[in-house]
Amino acid sequence: MEKRITCIVSGRVVMVMFRDFASRKARSLNITGSVENLEDRNVRVIAEGEEENLNRFIEHLNRGPFAARVARVDVDWGKSTGEFSGFNIIYS
C-alpha cells in the first residue's frame, strides 16, 4: 500500500550532497517525491511509495552521505496523494 512521509532531517546536512544522496536512494527504491534545503539549514523530504521501501529510505536518511552528520530525522506519516511523477531536487 502506498504511503507518504514528510521528513525533516537535521544536523550537518547542507553543503554535503545530502539532496543528491536522497534523490539517488529514492529512485533506487522506486519512491517519488522531493527534497529541499530549508532556510534553517535542515532538509525537508517528501516521499511516496510502498511502506517497506519508505522504511528503508528512512534508514538511508538517518545515515546520510559520507560528509553528513545526521542528528535527527523527524518523520510524519500520511496517505499517498500521487502528486509526484518522479523524485526531484528543489533548488532554492
What residues act catalytically?
19, 37
Question: Which residue shows C-alpha cell 528543489?
Answer: 90
Are 9 and 18 spatial neighbours (Cβ–Cβ below 8 Å)? yes
Residue 69 CB coordination number (10 Å):
10
H or E stretch including 91?
none
Question: What is the rounded distance in angstroms from the CA atom of residue 48 to the CA atom of residue 80?
Answer: 6
Residue 14 CB coordination number (10 Å):
16
